[in-house]
Chains A and B, each alone.
Chain A
Amino acid sequence: MTEERFWLLISLKLSGEALTEELAELEAYLQDHPEKRMQAERVNAILLTSSKTSALHKEAAFNKHMQRLSNHLSEPVLQYESKDDKDLVPDEKKRNPSIYKKLAWVTGIAASLFIAWFAIFDFSPGTKTDESTAQNTISTKRGSKSKIQLPDGTEVWLNADSKITYNENFQGDIREVQLSGEAFFDVVKDEKRPFIIHTDVIDVKVLGTAFNVRSYANEKNTETSLIRGSVEISLRSSPDKKFTLKPNDKLIVRNEEVKAVVGKTTTEKKENKPILLTWDKINYEKSDSSAKEILWVKNKLSFDGEPMEEIALKIERWYDVKVNIDDRIKKVDYTGTFEGESLQQVMEALQFSGKFQYTINKKEVTIRPAQNH
């Protein structure tokens, strides 16, 4: 064996790259040449020590790094990066900044086609239920959700800060519930007894179907998203106008317009203003084809090209916090889906996609535009 061969075998062994035959070859050689074994052992001893690491230094370096990372978000040019480095992974620029675990980012505003229509804002109870019978009320606080089963077997998922009221015995020709907030219904089919959901703005009449109703008093719209079956929606302001949704349809009624209308007219009368409402389609997530409108049922917090002012309301309900937003950032749209993330993680992710700064102080979140450098 030549000197070169010997050292090659030694180096292969030390690097953990030697093949079985090579190890055998080396061992056979060392048997015959004990003086070489000493040399081999010495090199082994010298080279097998690896560097000691300092956890403390790492910790400090990481903290410094996080500081740089957050600064960097407002000035996204890496000082040591050249154009060539960007080509290491193909198509970086062409793609949308996209998914990190459960995060889905879409830049820009989701284009949806809107058709005008109307709505009404009315705080009167509005149910036709007999006031003499006992009412069951189930409500959720901010930061919590609940699933309930009605006496007829219908399942209702109640989102945060929502309330559903129904007659205790749930008997009679019609099944009626009063909803404020957001709920997903999976209604047991009973053709003889229609199921009616009353909200401040609309009444939803169903036979047997699954759909989501979103009717928060502090939001601009009342939304009905139909997953399967069929529902008939009538407006509280003009009950003779009826709209039938087909699966995947979404009806958005503008609460705000109504509010303005209510000031001038009574709820009984037809307002002279045109009704404002929107036909839309349910947004399905590409990854698992679940409807974005009902992700909350699966405990996912989702924003779909929504402006910060609406996101803030969702976050307030979801995490039971108060969100203060600077006016300049209210209209900026964000998209994202979160599952099991903490408030801080959600804010951090949103902050990454849009230039703002946030602070969390106990139960209060404050969002300001990032300072430009």
Chain B
Amino acid sequence: MKAYQELYFLFFDGLHRFSFSFVKSKEVAEEIVSDVFIKIWQMRSRITEINNLKVYLYTVTKNFSINYIHRNYKNASLSIDEMDIEPVVELSNPEELFISAEMLNTIRQVIQELPPQCRLVFQLVKEDGLKYKEAAEVMNISVLTVRNQLAIAVKKIGTALPAYIQASFPSIKGFSAS
């Protein structure tokens, strides 16, 4: 029972966020995550047969979320790329980044304008720390697609920022000159 709770705590945020991107309701997303964990409980005897539990959890969450949309919205699209996906991507607050709130909104706007699938992939890798391979499995696309979509997302965000703040930007470890 303790292991079950730990598993729930470990994945709740990520799965809730992922589901929310589809269903856009915190309450519904919570129910869906709960259903996912009921399913895990049901199949707890065979949990070791699952290759990658993380991928499994995200995949089931995606499927349950899409099922919800189909059940509740008529004429809902079957393709993720035609769905209305709400990205949940956390950005630092402007003070920490030495950029204006306005600029942060610009970045949000950029993320919002990414194609739905691209947004989800970006969210899975950035927020949930999934590997490209894992994100590819969850989204049922190739690793190459994930790789390309991440590059597109990062490029769009990177180029959306005006050049003039560059000088005042503090050095961040990881990219500082050595």
Interface residues of A (CB under 8 A from B): 3-4, 7-8, 10-17, 30-31, 34-35, 37-53, 58, 61-62, 64-65, 68-69, 72, 76, 78-82, 84-85, 88-89, 92, 95, 97-100, 103, 105, 345, 348
Looking at the assembled complex, report how far the CB atom of B130 sits from the nearest CB atom of chain A, in whole angstroms: 9
Chain A residues touching B, majority SS: helix
B33 at the interface (CB under 8 A from A): yes
Residues of chain A with a CB closer than 8 A to B64's CB = 78, 80-81, 85
Of the candidates B42, B60, B165, the one having the most CB atoms from chain A within 10 angstroms of its own CB is B42
- Distance between Cα atoms of A290 and B96 in the complex (Å): 63
Residues of chain A with a CB closer than 8 A to B54's CB = none
Residues A78 and B39 in contact, CB atoms below 8 Å apart: yes
Residues B38 and A78 in contact, CB atoms below 8 Å apart: yes
Residues A8 and B35 in contact, CB atoms below 8 Å apart: no
Looking at the assembled complex, report how far the CB atom of A123 sits from the nearest CB atom of chain B, in whole angstroms: 43
Residues of chain A with a CB closer than 8 A to B8's CB = 58, 62, 65
Residues B158 and A100 in contact, CB atoms below 8 Å apart: no
Residues B63 and A82 in contact, CB atoms below 8 Å apart: yes
- Distance between Cα atoms of A43 and B43 in the complex (Å): 41
- Distance between Cα atoms of A12 and B148 in the complex (Å): 10
Contact with A along B11-42 (1 / 0, CB 8 A): 01100110000000000001111110111011
- Distance between Cα atoms of A65 and B177 in the complex (Å): 49
Known: A15-B132, A84-B63, A88-B59. A7 touches B151 (CB 8 A): yes
Residues B126 and A47 in contact, CB atoms below 8 Å apart: yes
- Distance between Cα atoms of A332 and B31 in the complex (Å): 33
- Distance between Cα atoms of A76 and B38 in the complex (Å): 9
- Distance between Cα atoms of A85 and B38 in the complex (Å): 13
Residues of chain B with a CB closer than 8 A to A76's CB = 42
Known: A7-B155, A38-B166, A89-B50. A51 touches B17 (CB 8 A): yes
Looking at the assembled complex, report how far the CB atom of B58 sits from the nearest CB atom of chain A, in whole angstroms: 12
Residues B131 and A17 in contact, CB atoms below 8 Å apart: yes
Residues A42 and B151 in contact, CB atoms below 8 Å apart: no
Residues B13 and A53 in contact, CB atoms below 8 Å apart: yes
- 5 tightest A-B contacts by CB? A7-B155, A80-B64, A11-B154, A8-B151, A38-B166
Residues B12 and A42 in contact, CB atoms below 8 Å apart: no
Within 8 A of A (CB), among B164-178: 165-167, 169, 171-172, 174-177
Looking at the assembled complex, report how far the CB atom of B98 sits from the nearest CB atom of chain A, in whole angstroms: 9
**Contacts A/B (CB < 8 Å), 26 sampled:** A8-B151, A10-B154, A11-B154, A12-B151, A14-B154, A15-B126, A17-B131, A17-B147, A37-B176, A38-B166, A39-B158, A41-B174, A42-B165, A42-B166, A46-B157, A47-B126, A48-B172, A58-B12, A65-B38, A80-B67, A85-B63, A98-B45, A98-B46, A100-B44, A100-B45, A103-B45
